[in-house]
Amino acid sequence: MKKINVRDAEGYELCHDITQILPGQFKGTKFLRGHIIRKEDIEVLISLGKENIFVLEEGDKEKNLVHEDDAAKFIVKKLNLDKESFEISDIREGKINISAREDGVLKIDVSTLNRINGIGEIILVTKYNNSYVRKGETVAATRVIPLMIEREQLEEMEKLSMDKDILRLKKICKDKKLGLITTGNEVYNGIIKDRSKEALLLKYRRYEINEIEQVFSKDDREMIKGYIKEFEKEKDIIMCTGGMSVDPDDITPSAIRESGWEVITYGTPVLPGAMFMIAYKGEKVLLGLPGGVVFSEKTVFDVLLPRILAGDRITKQEIVKMGHGGLLG
């Protein structure tokens, strides 16, 4: 690759895209790679700050160098992406974007991602692991830093990605059957109006789930356990609201424990929503929801809900790690 003065560039082929930036108005490609520079282009290039341009020389391929466009295409190919889950953009200015073809939970092999980004001059960027993404949303992008990159770096990336699913998308199950057990003498006796179903429906409707069957229970351990037993026959997700604090008369957590479910955690390092409880029985999920879930816009429930709907089994270790970034509002 050699550098020549732009005023002497007529007739030469551009070896990379040229970007134009008009602050507040436009940022995009003005000239594409492969464009043959015409006389009238020279003043435009100068206005873009290009006093010199770079052109390829015949020996570049023999030097084991790969152009940025070809490198980005190589990287995307070696990611082995599921074509039904991801869409790959055209290349622009050496970069390729990867977007979701459907709603779902984005799964990232973070360890392999970090190793790829540690190679040297390759960058692969993604949204956070376990992010909920919408159809059409950009979830990752890749490029290389130099205009020409050594082939050995790409070969190393290929070895790291071999037999790996670095990016996956888990679909949201939109036909989950939901049951809600609302506890509390004050609600059961009609002293105060319950708002939990209304609040929870607002959250579930984001995932196109519109039905929740609700029952009301007194602050009675056996009554709560009875409803849990009834719901577990036909519901995929059971939620309990009310009685989730540490007050002596708050008995919902003990009712859940005594119902034979595997409790993963009671309590999370996340605010709002610290008194959250999650338990499993086979593929079914039981959630103890503290009051913050009803009255706060974002809680631990909102963070975990997409994963629960995608069929993830939440572990205690994952809950422990939520303290980093767990102050939600």
Encode pLDDT of 242-256 as tens digits: 988 877 567 899 999
d(CA 286, CA 115): 37
Return the DSSP state at 128.
Answer: P
- The domain 178-321 belongs to what CATH superfamily? MoaB/Mog-like domain (3.40.980.10)
Q: Which among 58-67, 276-285, 287-296 has the top mean pLDDT?
A: 276-285
In terms of Cα–Cα distance, which of 199, 198, 182, 254 is closest to 222? Answer: 254
Q: Count of CB atoms within 10 A of residue 10's CB?
A: 13
Token digits of residue 311 = 């069929």
Residue 118 pLDDT greater than 60, yes or no: yes
Residues of the chain with CATH 3.90.1170.30: 61-170
Provide, rounded to the nearest whole percent, the portion of the chain with pLDDT above 90. 76
Residues of the chain with CATH 3.40.980.10: 178-321
For the whole model, what pTM was predicted? 0.84
Better-scored residue on pLDDT, 14 or 249: 14
Mind listing the pLDDT tens digit for each residue in 122-171? 999 999 999 999 999 999 999 999 988 999 999 999 999 999 999 999 99
Residue 22 pLDDT greater than 70, yes or no: yes
Residue 267 pLDDT greater than 90, yes or no: yes
Better-scored residue on pLDDT, 232 or 27: 232
* Matching residue, tokens 């108005």: 25
* Matching residue, tokens 């995307």: 76
- The domain 61-170 belongs to what CATH superfamily? Pyrimidine nucleoside phosphorylase-like, C-terminal domain (3.90.1170.30)
Paired residues of 209 in beta bridges:
none
What is the rounded average pLDDT of the residues 24-45?
87
* Matching residue, tokens 């929870």: 200
Q: Residue 187: which pLDDT band, with cuts at 50, 70 and 90? A: very high
What is the rounded average pLDDT of the residues 176-185?
96
Token digits of residue 230 = 């009834």
Q: Looking at residue 279, what is its pLDDT?
A: 98
Q: Looking at residue 327, what is its pLDDT?
A: 96
- The CATH code belonging to domain 2-55 is 3.90.105.10
Q: Are 70 and 56 in contact (CB under 8 A)?
A: no
Strands 65-67 and 148-150: antiparallel
